[in-house]
Structure 1
Amino acid sequence: MWLLSGIYQSPPSIWITGMSVVTLISMANLCYGEITGKHLKYSKFWNQSTTNSNLTNNKFSSRSGMLFIYTPSFLAGLASFWLFPHQNLRFLLLVSALTIHYFKRILEVIFIHKYSGSVMVDSGIVISLSYLISTSIMIYSQYLSQGLGEPSIDLKYLGIFLFLLGISGNFYHHYLLSKMRKDGEREYKIPKGGLFDFVVCPHYLFEILGFVGISFISQNLYALSCAIGVVLYLTGRSYVTRKWYLSKFEDFPKHVKAIYPYLF
């Protein structure tokens, strides 16, 4: 109760409470799936266990798939400025952070990332819908929470700092990944530079920081459940990413952790 009253606002409705629980359970299940080998079919992992040639016609190119995944959530954030005008500062900061997050993703897809795989259509639809639903609920929950009063501990400015740190660090390490391959190259290499010298997935670490920042900006229970879910899922995905590198490269440095430097 202290957590809700002092740091995070109480849920504005039973429905928001229920969706917070559903989101957290769903993300925990995705984390478990990653660890046990049931990967979402959008990366280098899915085709390890897929041998059915009939699947060839049921996939996007990676670039088209990623655009399909991120664009609806960006448009939802953009539309929220028009759908919910004249809101308080916390609401505007939250919507701005979410919109910037997905806009950055789209820019990276178009101008930064280099691809060697594909995205299964069914996984692309599931991921796109999950991003869209979570973004929409987070915004709507914040809208409903405006009349409930402010938490006694204000974290929104710390949240802005963490969000900017997270989005900047994430972009920088995506940029380093893109520079590993020359045009036309498709093979994977051991990433180097930045925090890649300490963890195999620093881009995931900074994405976690970004979502923690968003939850601090919001100080709403649903945003908190999303942030915890992101921590669980990306920790699990980083774990299997490190295992993949260890299996593919004999010279992969054993001291490089999965996502948290010196720890895991």
Structure 2
Amino acid sequence: MEYAAKLETEVDPASRVVSREEWLEARKALLQQEKELTRQRDRVNAARLALPWVKVEKDYRFETSSGEKTLSDLFDGRSQLMIDHFMFHPDWDAGCEGCSFFADHIDGMLPHLNNHDVTLVAVSRAPIEKIEAYKRRMNWHFPWVSSFGSDFNYDFHVSFTKEELASGSVNYNFRQTPSEQAFDELPGLSAFYKNEKGEIFHTYSQYARGGEEALGALMILDHAPLGRNETGTLSFVKRKDEYVAKPAASSGCCH
């Protein structure tokens, strides 16, 4: 199993039932671990903010629904830019299921991020026409642009050429990742800052499972009785319009 703490669902739930006093003792012990996790997260966040920055020298261009834009334009008047590296290959007809799961969270975040001087934009290699069509299908409204024909995805190690994949490994998540564990496209999140001179700096990137804390639905599942109940990372996730509706459970009343 990928997660050591994953609940084995074949265990009879009744075997986990204890008295309120026993439960409270176990819950208090877990609370200490949760508090340490919170303190560790604070330390990691402080270290993240202390990272040095790298000036972006390349003139990246993107296709948008309103024409070509530069990386500087994507800031939309704000000083901070977060880019969701959304997996959507030019040959695909739909975006990645896992990236779509994250995208379902974005629209509700935007007013809060924007008020905090942060712009969030999704970037994919698919042509803008495919992006716009999929965006309509999913009923999303956040900014989403195409890096088709640009080096952007390759420079930030979320897209890989056939030659790179054929070499046996690709540079992903700050290490050489075996090609059999990689695809043409992989997910990530990158942060940028623009100063008053208009200079842009790359401040942070995260990949693979690094972005899980941004997935509110996943965090709720981590607190549910059966957890994520998955056989692999996000194995349960589908595009939101592809779930099969389950019949409502019987209330036990006469029908």
TM-score class, shorter-chain normalisation, is under 0.3
TM-score scaled to structure 1, two decimals? 0.24
Greater per-residue helix proportion = 1
* TM-score normalised according to structure 2 size: 0.25
